[in-house]
């Protein structure tokens, strides 16, 4: 069973933040959750060589009240008369403060707006969003600039959900979220498996009929496995679709999402060890960076004791 009681939504006062808040509000209404709107104020220090002994200034009471009012004004249209929300203003480094707030909640979901995918903006995406994705203990919903609709327009729709499945434990965990969200939004859900082995090789040029037969076998087997993951009652409230593709996973996920005009991609991401951080970039990072729709990344199911005793991530 999927439970979402506390949503954390960091903002930077941009239109992307406003759109992320709208997604947070939609999910909060479905699950009866509260929203904590967080802004991390960071002073950029001057070069130490110019001002030796420089001390980081603190916000004055008047400045704090100004920021808090701006936060309430930004959040009010998205929340409307629906989910309760609180605003929280802290000073420090954004990544550490976001993770600290998520652990302290503890948050069941983080909703983040992202800032684009090229040049300096792409570096900014890597410096904050991806680090939060790698280190957060809870699922993270990233909302890109081109997410369906614009800030202030109609509420976000999640009518078409794509869930890539590689049959690992974490992808099956992500599928739980996909089914739950599909039921809430009455969405059509697509289960996709990408056959990556020899993905960039033309079968008829390397192995002939034997390779073609192998790929055909893998496709049939994958379809059967995906069909087995559809709950018995799912066809009563949605129209699940099964898709199998051959190619690099992130390319096929993005292609199918684009062709199907997906409103949301739900996918699993590995844990927080050194190897996992390296593997993060192979598929999840590419999808988060390039998707035109929001992406919900889900961690493996955490043991209760681990979550209770872990404290803020480091």
Q: State the total domains in the chain.
A: 2
Evaluate whether residue 53 is within a structural domain. no
- Looking at the fold, whether 82 and 207 belong to one and the same domain comes out as no
Evaluate whether residue 111 is within a structural domain. yes
Evaluate whether residue 200 is within a structural domain. yes
Given 136, 151, 166, which residue is the final one in a domain?
Answer: 151
- Looking at the fold, whether 6 and 133 belong to one and the same domain comes out as yes
CATH of the domain at 70: 3.40.50.620
- Looking at the fold, whether 130 and 192 belong to one and the same domain comes out as no
pTM for this prediction: 0.84
Residue 271 domain boundaries: 157-314
- Looking at the fold, whether 122 and 203 belong to one and the same domain comes out as no
The tens-digit pLDDT sequence of the chain (314 residues) is 788 999 999 998 888 888 899 999 999 999 999 999 999 988 766 555 555 666 667 889 999 999 999 999 988 888 776 788 999 999 988 899 999 999 998 999 999 988 644 333 443 445 678 788 888 999 999 998 777 654 444 568 889 999 999 999 999 999 999 999 999 888 999 999 999 865 444 444 445 667 788 888 999 999 999 999 999 888 888 889 999 999 999 999 999 999 999 999 999 986 544 444 444 557 888 898 889 999 999 988 764 334 433 444 43
Evaluate whether residue 112 is within a structural domain. yes
Can you read off the two tokens belonging to residue 93? 């480094």
């Amino acid at each position: 069973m999927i439970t979402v009681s506390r949503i954390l939504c960091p903002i930077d006062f941009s239109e992307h933040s406003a759109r992320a808040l709208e997604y947070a509000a939609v999910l909060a209404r479905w699950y009866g959750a509260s929203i904590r709107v967080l802004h991390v104020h960071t002073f950029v220090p001057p070069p130490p060589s110019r001002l030796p002994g420089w001390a980081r200034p603190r916000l004055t009471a008047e400045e704090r009240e100004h920021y808090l009012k701006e936060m309430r004004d930004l959040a009010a249209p998205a929340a409307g008369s629906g989910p309760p929300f609180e605003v929280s203003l802290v000073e420090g480094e954004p990544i550490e403060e976001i993770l600290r707030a998520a652990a302290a909640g503890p948050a069941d979901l983080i909703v983040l707006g992202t800032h684009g995918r090229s040049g300096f903006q792409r570096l900014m995406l890597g410096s904050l969003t991806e680090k939060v994705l790698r280190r957060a203990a809870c699922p993270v919903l990233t909302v890109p600039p081109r997410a369906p609709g614009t800030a202030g327009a109609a509420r976000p729709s999640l009518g078409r959900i794509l869930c890539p499945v590689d049959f690992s434990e974490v992808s099956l965990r992500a599928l739980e979220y996909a089914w739950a969200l599909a039921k809430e939004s009455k969405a059509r859900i697509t289960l996709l498996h990408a056959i990556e082995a020899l993905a960039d090789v033309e079968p008829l040029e390397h192995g002939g009929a034997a390779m073609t037969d192998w790929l055909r076998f893998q496709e049939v087997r994958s379809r059967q496995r995906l069909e087995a993951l559809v709950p018995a009652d799912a066809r009563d409230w949605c129209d699940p679709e099964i898709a199998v593709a051959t190619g690099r996973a992130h390319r096929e996920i993005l292609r199918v999402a684009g062709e199907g005009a997906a409103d949301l991609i739900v996918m699993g991401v590995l844990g927080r060890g050194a190897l996992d951080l390296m593997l993060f970039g192979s598929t999840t990072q590419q999808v988060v960076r390039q998707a035109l729709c929001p992406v919900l990344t889900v961690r493996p199911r955490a043991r209760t004791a681990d979550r209770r005793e872990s404290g803020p991530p480091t």
